[in-house]
Amino acid sequence: MKTVSELAQELELSDNAVRAHLLSLEGDGLTEQSGIQRGTRKPHLAYWLTEEAEHLFPKAYDTLLNQLIAVFKGRLTALALEEVLREVGRSFARTDAANQNNGDIDSRTGGALAALEAIGGSAR
């Protein structure tokens, strides 16, 4: 989930160019507005890929990740594997936290749940 400004910065395009592309992608049913993120001046609409768009991208990541973890299990101690996986989780959390404004505990918790669900998690 990204705002127009975030997409423009990452893609090195103007905000207007990103808006034009998003409008076209929305028309094709590939993106949709998914909420509002607080901004310094005004709230920003956030966009994400629709389920239809998700089907256009390769999804072999889960198979690759499972094989990678299986190899790690065979080569690392249980403690070392746990440390590696915790480091990955912390890295993911830092990246996600950097994309969110500091809000109250409910909004931060909601953001964390949304981030986990976006990668296929089922958290409560």
Q: Which long-range contacts (CB under 8 A, 24 or more apart) does 73-81 make?
A: none
User: Could you read off the pLDDT of 54-75 as tens digits, one per residue?
Assistant: 888 777 777 888 899 999 999 9
Predicted confidence at residue 77, as pLDDT, reads 95
Domains identified in the chain and CATH numbers: 1-57 (1.10.10.10), 58-124 (no CATH)
Give the whole-angstrom CA distance, residue 56 versus residue 41. Answer: 35
Render pLDDT for 68-121 as a digit per residue (tens, 0 to 9): 999 999 999 999 999 999 998 888 777 766 666 667 788 778 877 877 777 777
Q: What local confidence, expressed as pLDDT, does residue 43 receive?
A: 66
User: What is the enclosing helix (H) or strand (E) of 83?
Assistant: helix 78-98
CA 49 to chain centre: 11
35 neighbors 1 (Cβ within 8 angstroms): yes
**117 closest CA partner among 36, 57, 34, 44:** 34
In this prediction the pTM is 0.45
Q: Which of 34, 51, 50, 39 is nearest to 15 (CA)?
A: 39
50 three-state secondary structure? coil
The per-residue pLDDT for 51 is 85
Residues 51-56 have a mean pLDDT of 83
